[in-house]
Structure 1
Amino acid sequence: MKRVYPDPMPLRLFAALPLPDGITECLTGLQLGVPGADWRQKEALHLTLSFFGNVDNEAAEALDHELARIHCKPFDLSIRGAGHFGREEPRALWMGIDAHPSLLLLSHACERAARRAGLNIEKRSFIPHITLAYLHETPLSPIQAFERRHALFRSPDWRADRFYLYSSWKGGRGDNPYRIEAEYPLA
């Protein structure tokens, strides 16, 4: 995974599950009715397993090696319901994921891999979700209406058979560009 990354933009890494095209099409069809929502583009939709933050090239190599050692069988997932982050000031609108035991194990395995690679990652509770939009001064009532409309939403199941190490560069508003740095099949 030897790469030279553009300077001065910091390299940010995270592990995530990709979404099949049918699922992303379904999700982008839900993206309406919330003023102030900065809806995510289809290409930016994913299920984050673990966020590693800013990582230099040497640590990225070690992380890649450790993530490649993870063993997990493929498993099925589905999206269920909607919610938001930010109680007082809503900041993100999301669709929930059924918390399959293998999904939770894979997320924890990614965190352990990062620690073995020498990264000090922030310990957060893993809340399986797909961010649909970032919110900017959005009133609570349309967010709650969106959540009520999609409370019983359930996507078709899909098979998680691989995960990726992604890089991103924090830019201005809107989606940050993502690049797949490595692929890890589940077997």
Structure 2
Amino acid sequence: MPRLFTAVELPEQVAMHLSLLRGGLPGARWIDKENYHVTLRFIGDIDDRTADEVAAALDRVERRAFTLQISGLDVFSSRGPHALFARVEPTPSLLELQGEQERLMQRLGLKPEPRRFHPHVTLARLRGTSAAEAAQWLAMRGDVRLAPIEVSRFVLYSSRASVGGGPYLVEEAYPLLAA
């Protein structure tokens, strides 16, 4: 039973730049740079037949290539900081691609994604990190703005059930139309 999700990959030089931010944050479990991505739609654990239906539905997506912009770092924090991430600007093209994938998954009978789409690249999982420690770390390193990233495809990833995710395997790649 595969665990699937769709995502935008990051170029090696962008992943390398983000990985250089690692360190100095107590309680951080850093994500390997090979696993950096922007999740579009978490699909979850599904049977092989449904996985084939998902792959076929995604093959019908016809969107234009676009650019992504990473600007700044932040933490997800409900009852304390639990994930450090790079913010991805929610451009219309990105939101439309994600929205189309959400609609396709629901048409296949999958449950709607309960969380609002918040484009980001997870850099670290946090455990026992205080709000003050996270705020201090962000004050020192949080003002990051990278060159625009050209997005010419999205992928369907599979993953093993593991703590923190990864390693991820590209099951299918879906090219976007030339801009």
- Structure 1 unaligned regions, length at least 5: 1-9
TM-score, normalised with respect to structure 2: 0.93
Q: Paired residues, what number?
A: 177
Give the conservation status (yes or no) of the 8 Å contact 1:15–1:164.
yes
Residue in structure 2 matching 1:104, options 95, 98, 119: 95
**Other-structure match for 2:25:** 34
- Spell out the pairing of 1:67-146 with structure 2 (5 A cutoff): 67-146=58-137
3-state SS of 1:61 partner: helix
Q: Residues 171-186 of structure 1 correspond to what in structure 2 (within 5 A)?
A: 171=162, 173-186=163-176
Tell me the alpha carbon deviations over residues 108-130 of structure 1, each in whole angstroms, 9 at most, x when there is no partner. 11111111222224332100100
**Matched residue type, 2:22:** Q
Offset of residue 29 of structure 1: 0.5
Query: Root-mean-square deviation (CA), in Å?
Result: 1.3
Aligned-residue sequence identity (percent) comes to 37
| Residue aligning to 1:19 | 10
Partner of 2:49: 58
Quote the Cα distance in structure 1 between the aligned partners of 2:107 and 2:59.
Answer: 12
Q: Which amino acid aligns with 1:69?
A: R
Corresponding residue for residue 160 of structure 2:
169
Of 37, 44, 52, 1:46 maps to 37
